[in-house]
Structure 1
Amino acid sequence: MNTFPWFTRRKSLPPDLAARRDRLPAPQALDARPLREQRFVVLDLETSGLNMSRDLVLSIGAVTLEDGAIDLGNQFECTLQRDTGKLSASVLIHGIAPSELAAGVEPAEALMSFMEFLGDSPLLAFHATFDQRMLGRALKQDLDHRLRHVFLDVAELAPMLCPEAGIRNGGLDDWVEHFGLQVQQRHNAAADALVTAEIALILFSRARRQGLHTPADLASALARWQRRQHAPAL
């Protein structure tokens, strides 16, 4: 009998997965290299809902930014295997068929493959707090691995660098429309990651024109801007 009903023993990883996890590199800090010389991974997750304590990661889409461009030959896309009987009606939003989820990649293997793709690079995401929390919980649950990578939030960078747009709390669709971009398929992790990367490149160009030339510059400016947004009105 388990004396503590809230405690459940974490399933042990197969030796090969544990060895791969232990070889993952330590994440980079944001440093003083030029923005175009920093490899970024742009991430988008599709999930079973918006509850960051209960819902599940269903699919992962990611693209890389290298040498100031999107590396279309280096993308990541994976659907995770899930029990479709436990998923909420919100799954219909993404259009991921139950058959796709049933035939998906086992979660620990999918997450490991993504972490190997990610390497030591910092991450960009739209509404990054959600993706960071969901990915971090999945990694802890399925790989017993703590997510330590730096995230920059494109949803916060955009209004900071483009105040003339008048979009303060906009969604991805608002910025796609503002910049005149096209999305192949909304609520698809790979397609949303790609258009987020396109927005990020536009924002990096704006950042350089505003004297923000490095990832560290950008992160510091964003932290100052966020403090101003949350400062009490005088």
Structure 2
Amino acid sequence: MNLFGWLRTAKPHLDATQQQRLAQLPQPVALGDAALRSQRWVVLDLETSGLNLNRDQVLSIGAVVIEDGAVDFSQMFERTLQRAETKLSPSVLIHGLGPSAIAAGSDPVDALLDFMEFVGDSPLLAFHARFDQHMLARALKDSLGYRLAHTFLDVADIAPLLYPEALLREAGLDDWIDHFHLQVGERHHASADALATAELMLILLSRARQQHIDTPRALQARLSQWKRRKQAPSF
């Protein structure tokens, strides 16, 4: 008996159809030099059982697509994941996903496969993307044994990069919505927050083009430079 066998992560069990779907997921593509307007972006928002990166779980996924300079309302995604033994935090009062909604949700394996098929090889955008990226990556690893390698850009960084005069560097999504006087409907569930983030991103993409940031690769490079300057020690 291997004394260290208990340390190994159990391999997720997928049936033959699920394994085939997993094998057919496209490989992500690095940001390139096509026109910024032509890039397909998937704007993501997650609702989770809490904010602990290592313990809490993804409860729902909402996403919309930006393409050809607009939100494509024919490409929208929303799933609630079934979680049998999830202990809900007080955040349920915000996102409204109670035990009955979670019990009636989709099988996590199928829901995550659906989402990654929806994403395809496109880059992802989220507001405070580090949290969403980590939680999505862990959910994919735990349920599918899949390693997330898609490019993520953080709208919470892109906004102050392109609008430094707004003086909202540490602001939340609601602050930017108020700054641009965006008329958004329901908030604080995944698909609504993804749509609000996408509407903000449309303003930012227009500003990027005004600043001659004409390609996805150029936007990524400018963002990386901005973050390095921000983190550099001041003397």
* TM-score, length-scaled by structure 1: 0.96
| Equivalent residue runs for 1:54-73 within 5 Å | 54-73=55-74
Indicate the percent of aligned positions where both proteins have the same amino acid: 59
- Deviations 1:1-31, CA, capped at 9 Å, x for gaps: 8733433422321111010010001111100
Separation (CA, whole Å) in 1 of partners of 2:149 and 2:136: 11
Gaps of 5+ in 1: none
RMSD: 1.3
Task: Give the match for residue 109 of structure 1.
Answer: 110
Separation (CA, whole Å) in 2 of partners of 1:217 and 1:160: 13
Task: Give the match for residue 38 of structure 1.
Answer: 39
Single out whichever of 139-148 and 86-95 deviates more from structure 2.
Answer: 86-95
Q: 1:210 to 1:8 in 2, by over 3 A?
A: closer
Task: Give the match for residue 189 of structure 1.
Answer: 190
Q: Which amino acid aligns with 1:164?
A: E
Residues 84, 102 of structure 1: 8 Å contact kept: no
Single out whichever of 78-87 and 96-105 deviates more from structure 2.
Answer: 78-87
Task: Give the match for residue 101 of structure 2.
Answer: 100
| Superposed displacement of residue 182, structure 1 | 2.5
Q: Which amino acid aligns with 1:3?
A: L
Separation (CA, whole Å) in 2 of partners of 1:186 and 1:109: 26
| Superposed displacement of residue 102, structure 1 | 0.3
Residues 84, 101 of structure 1: 8 Å contact kept: no
* TM-score, length-scaled by structure 2: 0.96
Residues 108, 143 of structure 1: 8 Å contact kept: yes
Task: Give the match for residue 25 of structure 1.
Answer: 26
Residues 95, 188 of structure 2: 8 Å contact kept: yes
| Superposed displacement of residue 84, structure 1 | 5.3
Task: Give the match for residue 199 of structure 1.
Answer: 200
Q: 1:6 to 1:92 in 2, by over 3 A?
A: farther
| Superposed displacement of residue 93, structure 1 | 2.0
Separation (CA, whole Å) in 1 of partners of 2:168 and 2:227: 15
Task: Give the match for residue 3 of structure 2.
Answer: 3
Secondary structure of 1:65's aligned partner:
strand
Work out the number of aligned pairs and report it.
Answer: 234
Secondary structure of 1:220's aligned partner:
helix
Residues 12, 144 of structure 2: 8 Å contact kept: no
Q: Which amino acid aligns with 1:128?
A: A
